[in-house]
Structure 1
Amino acid sequence: MRDHDALLAFIASRAVMPFDWRCNDCVRYAAGAIVAQGGESPLRGLRHWATLTGAVRALRRLGGMEAAVSARLTAIAPALAQRGDIAGVPDDMLGLRLMVVEGETLVGPGDNGNCRQKRNAMTHAWSGLE
């Protein structure tokens, strides 16, 4: 069962935390949201970088962000994504950036804390919890 209150608390805890390749990138944010809801972090093996270059290299070895996440989470149709699921949105640097489905919006790390996008920006989705 998903703990939506814990998810909202997690999102609030990141409200002013800026993006950082070492502790608050999109993979760590998505993993934190899964753990906050009562799950285990199946994304653990993706977090071995501290720079954009390191992230690009690691993801390239894993076949890209989509393949790396799909190997660890259950892919679902974006239209079926629920609050707390993981969304993929197009990204110029990584090909795909991870965000968390908040409801009508997606949320993830930004330069000055949480950034949001409309749900229709989502091109991929995964469920991190049963």
Structure 2
Amino acid sequence: MRLPDWQTRFSRFGQERARAPFVWGTNDCCMHAAAAVEAITGTNPMAAFESYGTEAGPRRKALRRLLRQLDKVGGLQALVTAHMGEPIRPVMATVGDVVLVRNEGRELLAICNGVNAMGPGRDGMVSLSMQDALAAWRV
């Protein structure tokens, strides 16, 4: 359930992440989506993604664990579905919903901003076309 002040919290999230570079375990697509959901709802249904660690060794182990989990459940869409429930059609996504997007041949998580999906990029948040969305989850 969204908090009464979710729009302010979501706006603040966007401002904080606007120039944050992509970093595995800190600001990758899973961490980005999890942080956005937490900003909007106050809870993180994807808390399993929060185990990357901050040092290189533990982070690599956690990433390997995440990749094994992705293989085990059938990919990123299945993993997010396990944490957030059944997906909706991307055309039904509204501001703040989590979106699975195909970009440059890879699947990644982003957040719907109404027209596009926003996700972490090399030098900060990037805008991705909702036309490339494969699935979405209500927040």
Same fold (TM over 0.5): yes
| Residue number among 17, 20, 31 corresponding to 2:20 in the alignment | 17
Q: Which amino acid aligns with 1:65?
A: L
Q: Greater CA deviation, 83-92 or 9-18?
A: 83-92
Q: Is the alpha carbon distance of 1:53 and 1:91 closer, same or farther for their aligned partners in structure 2, counting shifts above 3 Å?
A: farther
Letter in 2 for 1:89: V
Correspondence 1:28-39 to 2 at 5 A: 28-39=31-42
Deviation at 1:58, TM superposition (A): 3.5
Q: SS where residue 12 of structure 2 aligns?
A: helix
1:99 pairs, out of 104, 110, 115, with 110
Structure 2, unmatched stretches of 5+, are 53-58
- Give matches, 1:1-130, under 5 Å: 1-2=2-3, 3-49=6-52, 50-51=59-60, 54=64, 55-74=66-85, 75-91=87-103, 95-128=106-139
Pair member with larger Rg: 2
Moved runs in structure 1, 4+ residues, more than 2 A? 46-58
SS across alignment from 1:33: helix
**Do the aligned partners of 2:101 and 2:130 also contact (CA within 8 Å) in 1?**
no
Residue correspondences, number: 127
Root-mean-square deviation (CA), in Å? 2.1
* DSSP-derived class of the 1:37 partner: helix
State the Cα distance separating 1:91 from its structure 2 match.
4.7
CA distance in 2, matches of 1:61, 1:100: 25
Deviation at 1:47, TM superposition (A): 3.8
> 1:88·1:123 contact (CA, 8 Å) conserved in 2?
yes
Q: Distance in 2 between matches of 1:48 and 1:68?
A: 15
Secondary structure of 1:17's counterpart equals coil
TM-score normalised over the length of structure 1: 0.85
Please report how far the alpha carbon of residue 53 of structure 1 lies from its aligned counterpart in structure 2 after TM superposition.
Answer: 5.9
Q: In the alignment, is the contact (CA less than 8 A) between 2:118 and 2:125 conserved in 1?
A: yes
Q: CA deviation at 1:92?
A: 6.0
